[in-house]
Structure 1
Amino acid sequence: MSRVLEHYNYLHEIPELGFQEFKTSAYISQQLKNAGFVVQDNFNGTTGIVAILDSGIPGPTLALRADMDALGHIIDGVHCARHTCGHDGHSSVVLSAAEELIAGHEVKRGRLKLIFQPAEELGAGALAMIAGGAIDDVDMILGFHVRPAQECAVGTAIPAVHYSACVTLEAIIYGQAAHGARPHLGVNALDAAVSAVQAVNAVHLAPDSGWSVKATRFICDAGVTNSIPDEARVVFDLRTAKNEDMVELQARVQRAVEHSVAAYGAKANVTVVKSMPAAVIDDEMTALIAQAIVDVQGEAALMPVRSTPGSEDFFQYPVQRPEVKAGFWGLGTGLLPGLHHPDMHFDLASLPVGVKIFTACVRRVLG
């Protein structure tokens, strides 16, 4: 019998931020060891976990990946971690699938590899696992995400979710301080930063290419109200449906910021805070997942392939290792009001379905 709700209820109560998932990884690791997996903790010096079940019979290596971190929120003025993206559900589903597969002796050839990854929200977790060699011996990798109610109803699933590329840029704009009564002696970083936001809002790619750019944070405070501020920080969120478009958009945004502040006599230092690639999904893996969905829930449950402007660092795996076939699917959970909302919730009865879909995929490849 699936323990997915037991796992979920525990993990949901101990949300931890990226690379700080100490309790989370300790729990998952112990459950995997109890089940009989060979487990490597603290993978590449992180909270990541890699576990292996080797059949001893020649065959492919199939990896299942789950993310573990929670999101940081400010709620009622208090900084806190909260599972508002469903990573506790992802870890619970993959952990439960692993338990059922090993208990049922379902892996009859090749190897099953489990990757419990930290820091997805930071855009750094997958890269850390890759750098440690987590997928150097992997032929195929599967991941999934709980989906908002607006995209996918409870009782249905999407065989491939094509995520967008996302880059977060921070521009630190340097002016020159001066007294508010003598503005001609300074360079107002606030004015320059406002100009930078307006310049970025005027950036355009082809309308049919699927892209967006917007300012998402603006910080400027000289500490007093009668002084010209000499520094401002602006964060921009960039998204494109294709990886090649992101290269162009990023270059245009950087140029817009640098040139617009220069007109005020200010300078800008633009850096990449976070970068996630657009989806790279293998058709063979999508077909595998689609058949597993039908196996578990029937034809009526199979939804069309879908694109989303959201981002997901899972796609670093196939981008960094193009020889690895990747599949990424969406589970209908009735999730409301939306991902990353402080009050996000979903139908927990959907989680056992996710377990069954993963186990069906593994049986088809390794059974």
Structure 2
Amino acid sequence: MKELVNELNSQLIGIFSHLHNNPEVSWNEYKTTDYIKQLFEDHNCKITTFEDVPGLVIEIGHGKPVVAARADIDALWQEVDGSFTANHSCGHDAHMTIVIGTLMACLRKGLPEKGTFRFIFQPAEEKGTGALAFVEKAIVNDVDFLYGMHLRPLEELHHGQFTPAIRHGAARFVEGTIQGDDAHGARPHLNANAIQIGAELIQHLNNIHINPMVPHSVKMTAFQAGGESHNIIPGSANFAVDLRAQTNAVMQELTEKIHNIADMLGNYHDVEINLKTTADIAASVTNQEAIQLMEEAIRETTGSDHLEQPIVTTGGDDFHFYTIKKPHLKATMLGIGCDLQPGLHHPKMTFNHSIIPKAIEILLSAMNKTAESYA
């Protein structure tokens, strides 16, 4: 396996560079889709694209079992060096390269010898809605095992360490509006200042107390109020709140408290505060069989010294919607240690690219073991 992957290394460097330098945000990954498609158009594989959404599915082999690997393909929209731009600060460029490399290695080696390998290049993970869209397209209806992956920050794994499962928490994104009337800057008694209401909202969010034994957090991540006329007290504003919880039950408790806070502040200030959930990512559902197969693949390709226990993290990933919506699926996510710093979603995130070939070896081994074990 190692020699086979090493033969692809120079090509993979070019692929990663292209993906990294051409990021596209959620639901706009059409050029990324076209790029991946053209890599395999001349090979013996089935390629499926969609008229209404970006992303694609590539399949090789035939029959059972159906073993799938999923890569998320979208980038974040964030400020980098003073300008807002699409940016691969979550490692999806690496995830794509790993899955592409695994497929290339399979084509060179004539894998799978048994069953079907399906490679899923999914859009809009950052919006928390891409996996649900692909579930609706029946992409995983006949899949038996599903493997994902994610680069892990340095605080979780060092370079060369791998974990056979990532136990993500739940995540929920809420958008809100404060709707009131503007007032003259000299007459603050005539309205409720939306900026002040926003500050009070932040204070009350910080005062939420839930069982500290369950990791959770809630924080405001966007707030816009006022305009170019600085002598107007704004009565309206838009804001966003990011919620995280290790369990779905605590996520529900957090959500109820936020709605209670919004109702209370709206009544006190005589304004209307509306909340809308824009994305909802459930806590992970993993499978012990899939975890065991991934653990065996890590041991086989890297040795036991590089195998770490499953990670519990408050981060979320819409990968888990596949198993929630299709309970028959046996799934897990490979955690990849690559000295990633300063952290995921940091605009200047960096990681050790040399980990990509080793991750390909592990994923290839896991898929092959699965096919051989369940044929």
For the criterion TM > 0.5, the same-fold answer is: yes
Whether contact under 8 Å (1:173, 1:231) holds in the other structure is yes
- d(CA) in 2 for partners of 1:34, 1:180: 67
1:320-347 Cα shifts (integer Å, max 9, x gaps): 2122111111111121222112221211
Match of 2:317 among 304, 309, 312: 312
Whether contact under 8 Å (1:199, 1:260) holds in the other structure is no
Give the AA of the match of 1:27. Answer: Y
Shift of 1:304: 1.2
Match of 2:283 among 270, 278, 281: 278
- Mapped pair 1:242 → 2:244: no
Match of 1:228 among 227, 230, 233: 233
Whether contact under 8 Å (1:213, 1:238) holds in the other structure is yes
What SS does structure 2 have at the residue aligned with 1:290? helix
**1:32 maps to which residue?**
40
- Percent sequence identity is 32
- Mapped pair 1:184 → 2:189: yes
The alignment of Structure 1 onto Structure 2 pairs a total of residues equal to 364
Query: Once structures 1 and 2 are overlaid, which stretch shifts more, 150-159 or 60-69?
Result: 150-159
Shift of 1:296: 0.3
Normalised to the residue count of structure 2, the TM-score between the two structures is 0.93
**2:352 maps to which residue?**
347
Shift of 1:354: 0.7
**1:4 maps to which residue?**
12
Shift of 1:190: 2.5
- d(CA) in 2 for partners of 1:186, 1:340: 38
**1:60 maps to which residue?**
65
Query: Equivalences for 1:188-207 in 2 at 5 Å?
Result: 188-207=193-212
- d(CA) in 1 for partners of 2:139, 2:216: 32
- d(CA) in 1 for partners of 2:159, 2:42: 32
Distance 1:222 1:6, change over 3 A: closer
Distance 1:35 1:345, change over 3 A: farther
**1:260 maps to which residue?**
265
- d(CA) in 2 for partners of 1:227, 1:35: 63
Whether contact under 8 Å (1:5, 1:351) holds in the other structure is no
Match of 2:214 among 201, 209, 214: 209
Shift of 1:179: 2.1
Query: Once structures 1 and 2 are overlaid, which stretch shifts more, 196-205 or 176-185?
Result: 176-185
Q: Which 4+ runs in 1 deviate beyond 6 A?
A: none
Unaligned 5+ segments in structure 1 are: none
- d(CA) in 1 for partners of 2:191, 2:17: 56
**2:370 maps to which residue?**
365
- Mapped pair 1:50 → 2:57: yes
Shift of 1:46: 1.1
Unaligned 5+ segments in structure 2 are: 1-6
Query: Once structures 1 and 2 are overlaid, which stretch shifts more, 133-142 or 70-79?
Result: 70-79
- Mapped pair 1:23 → 2:23: no
What SS does structure 2 have at the residue aligned with 1:355? helix
Whether contact under 8 Å (1:189, 1:266) holds in the other structure is no
Whether contact under 8 Å (1:199, 1:257) holds in the other structure is no
Q: CA RMSD in A?
A: 1.6
Whether contact under 8 Å (1:159, 1:290) holds in the other structure is yes
Whether contact under 8 Å (1:17, 1:81) holds in the other structure is yes
Give the AA of the match of 2:26. Answer: G
Shift of 1:351: 0.3
Shift of 1:222: 4.8
Query: Equivalences for 1:80-119 in 2 at 5 Å?
Result: 80-119=85-124
Normalised to the residue count of structure 1, the TM-score between the two structures is 0.95
**1:138 maps to which residue?**
143
